[in-house]
Amino acid sequence: MIATVKYQNKNHQIDLSKPLDISMPLRGNDSNVNAWYVPPPRIEPHTEGEFIGKVTEGAAINFNDISFNPHAHGTHTECVGHITEDFHSVNQNMDRFFFYAELITIAPERYQGDLVISPKQLQYALGNKKREAVIIRTLPNLKDKLTRQYGHTNPPYLLGTAAQFLADKGVEHLLVDLPSVDKEKDNGALWAHKAFWGVEGAIRKNATITEFIFVANSIQDDTYFLNLQVAPFENDASPSRPVLYALENQ
């Protein structure tokens, strides 16, 4: 199915039958990706008295309970409510779900003993491009990102100045293949989150950060049409499924 979309006064075609899913699946066992020192997610048959919600156990249906943390267990999209005293729901703050996005690949650089993404790297990758969303794939890009246990590993992160650079460029939606845009242990500083959402000034309530994506190496750096859907949870963050569509007639 071919659809026509207009961007920067130019028509582009996208093939809706060729989605590029950049989300992580959630599995109810120890092989699921994990961060923030919580137990793995669980997907288990509901039990009540003699009832076990599993067809192989004699039930008419499979009827599972699911327990997980959206921040720790896979692809999720969060809003400014993640770091504010006031409650903000990502379900209420997001009112659009299609965006023009730029996929860039960056090898984090050394900074004070850490691996970071700097504003200089973003400037080099994006140039003068103006995009509603930016998707960052980090190197090395191995499939073990789908199962990696990130606790106490100090993974790469964005400098606060890098997040500010994106906010200044008008980027509304930031997607990364990391457990967080901030350093794992920073004593609650959260410089990148705060800079991207503008919490020290005019808060960008419609801006979102999506973490724990996975972009296969077969997907080339380019401009894409992004469908960013979140489950309708009234929470600061929700499981999400970002899907890319290649643009034709660019």
The Cα 102–Cα 193 span in angstroms is 20
| pLDDT value of position 51 | 97
Mean pLDDT taken over the chain: 96
pLDDT score of 160 more than 80: yes
In the block, which residue shows the tokens 């960056």?
A: 106
Q: What CATH number does domain 2-25+74-246 carry, 1.40.20.10, 3.40.190.10, 3.50.30.50, 3.40.390.10?
A: 3.50.30.50
Report how far residue 127's alpha carbon sits from residue 108's, in angstroms, rounded to the nearest whole number.
18
The verdict on pTM exceeding 0.75 is yes
What per-residue confidence (pLDDT) applies to 250? Answer: 56
Burial of residue 6, with CB atoms counted within 10 A of its CB: 0-12 exposed, 13-18 middle, 19 or more buried: exposed
Q: Where are the domains of the chain?
A: 2-25+74-246
Q: Is a pLDDT exceeding 90 seen at residue 1?
A: no
Which of 151, 92, 87, 134 has its CA nearest to residue 121? 134
Pairing of strands 98-106, 133-138: parallel
| Digit-coded pLDDT (tens) for 171-200 | 999 999 999 999 999 999 999 999 999 998
Structure confidence at residue 45 (pLDDT):
98
Residue type, 178: L
Residues 194-215: what's their mean pLDDT? Answer: 96
Q: Give the pLDDT of residue 5.
A: 81
pLDDT of residue 7: 73
What are the DSSP calls for 174-243, one per residue? EEESSS-SS-SSSTT--HHHHHHHTTTSS--TT-EEEES----TTSPSEEEEEEEEE---SSSEEEEEEE
CB 64 within 8 A of CB 57: no
Percent of the chain at pLDDT above 70? 99
- Selection from 117, 92, 235 nearest residue 174 by Cα: 117
For tokens 């100045």, name the residue. Answer: 161
Asked if residue 232 lies in contact with residue 108, where contact means CB atoms within 8 angstroms, the answer is no
Enumerate residues 6+ apart whose C-beta is below 8 A from 113.
Answer: none
The string of pLDDT tens digits covering residues 30-69 is: 999 999 999 999 999 999 999 999 999 999 999 999 999 9
Give residue for tokens 């992004």. 226
The answer to whether the beta carbons of residues 101 and 244 sit under 8 Å apart is: yes
